[in-house]
Structure 1
Amino acid sequence: MTKRKRSVADGRAMLGLAAAALYGAGLAGCATIDGSASPEAAPASITYETGPCFGACPVYRVTVTVDGQGWFEGRRFTAVDGERRFSLSRAQYEAFARHLSPLRPDTGSIRYSGENCTMMATDMPSASVEWKDPGGSVQNLYFYFGCDMEKNRALAERLRAAPELLPIAAFVRPAK
């Protein structure tokens, strides 16, 4: 190994030892919502949006931020129309983010609709999720609930359950 290559390798080893020492002292980055070691991996905000169906499916958009702010916009068949602000705890945000984390693309967008489906039922609702990172990168998931229903059952159930983790039930469900 040349002197130049050895010094680069030695430098990397020293950086690794320094990072380990900082971590042991509690000075390195903390774990994120999904358990990864990089704080940049935690989304700064998550937007969950439903699309219409043939019927009375609730259509709304909700955005939550890591600092506990939330915005709900009821569009159709919701208990409230228009925008509402709300607050949520860090634990609620983390539970919501953790629940949706397995669906988050590494980069870019994923679509479950149209030609991406082998079998497709019509007149079903849809859901989309947008994750925004503190650094500005964005990942998106769009899911049409009629897309390969048996094959995508677990995905559909996870998406349907996600809003229940947020304090928006009074906005979504019509009053009884």
Structure 2
Amino acid sequence: MTRQTACCLAMAWVALLIAGCSQQRTLSGSEPTANASPVTEIRYQVGPCHGMCPVYSLGLSEDGTTRFHGEQFTALEGERVRVSDPGRFALVKRQLSSWQPAMGTTIDTPDCGPRATDLSHYTVTWTNSEGEQAVLNHDSGCHSEDARRLTEVLRSVPKTVGIEAWVEQ
């Protein structure tokens, strides 16, 4: 192999590696496309763990309506509905926007890294005005750097919405 051929092959490999890296989707994924219909509802569900973790669901609408359903290990059980400031919906939407998958898709925590198997699972569903949904399933036992950041954001949602007293026992 000539030196010129070896150099060309090396440059081709570098170009392929760069292209491959730029195509990899991380948790801090994609922004919704400009022509996508706006998100009008966010549903947030927290599943059980191997212990006494809260199990509940939370629905947030752009008009400020908050629907909480405490299932297990929460301060309040059953459904509660509160109409509050639509700004809270906008804040949660903004906090979660970098993890929102494209409408019509469902993704699981990519790049989980080392994983603890006994922690809560989260499901976040964004619904737009046309009824399309984007779903993120997150395992809070994932310990990659992106996964830990997402877990922190998800755990902050009850405080952002002002329902932490409903969740914590």
Provide TM-score, normalisation by structure 1.
Answer: 0.70
Structure 2 residue aligned with 1:14: none
Verify: 1:53 aligned to 2:53, yes or no.
Answer: no
| Residues in 1 aligned to 2:50 and 2:94: alpha-carbon distance in whole angstroms | 31
2:112–2:144 CA contact under 8 A, matched in 1:
no
Instruction: Give the SS at the match of 2:102.
Output: coil
CA deviations 1:5-59 (Å, max 9, x no partner) are xxxxxxxxxxxxxxxxxxxxxxxxxxxxx8986582x311100110111111111
1:100–1:162 CA contact under 8 A, matched in 2:
no
1:88–1:167 CA contact under 8 A, matched in 2:
no
| Residues in 1 aligned to 2:112 and 2:88: alpha-carbon distance in whole angstroms | 33
Identity of matched residues, %: 33
Determine which of 77, 80, 84 is the counterpart of 2:76. 80
| Residues in 1 aligned to 2:34 and 2:146: alpha-carbon distance in whole angstroms | 32
What pairs up with 1:17-166 in 2 under 5 angstroms?
40=37, 42-107=38-103, 108-112=105-109, 117-150=112-145, 152-166=147-161
User: Which of the pair has more CA radius of gyration?
Assistant: 1
CA drift of 1:167 comes to 2.2
| Residues in 1 aligned to 2:97 and 2:145: alpha-carbon distance in whole angstroms | 21
Runs of 4 or more, structure 1, over 4 Å off, are 34-39
Higher mean alpha-carbon deviation, 140-149 vs 121-130, is at 140-149
Report how many aligned residue pairs link the two structures. 138
CA drift of 1:148 comes to 3.7
Higher mean alpha-carbon deviation, 99-108 vs 146-155, is at 146-155
CA drift of 1:132 comes to 0.3
Q: Which has the higher contact order (CA 8 A, sep 6+)?
A: 2
Q: 1:165 to 1:118 in 2, by over 3 A?
A: closer
Letter in 1 for 2:81: R
Aligned-pair RMSD on alpha carbons?
A: 2.3
Instruction: Give the SS at the match of 1:52.
Output: coil
Query: What stretches of structure 1 of length at least 5 have no aligned partner?
Result: 1-33
Instruction: Give the SS at the match of 2:82.
Output: strand
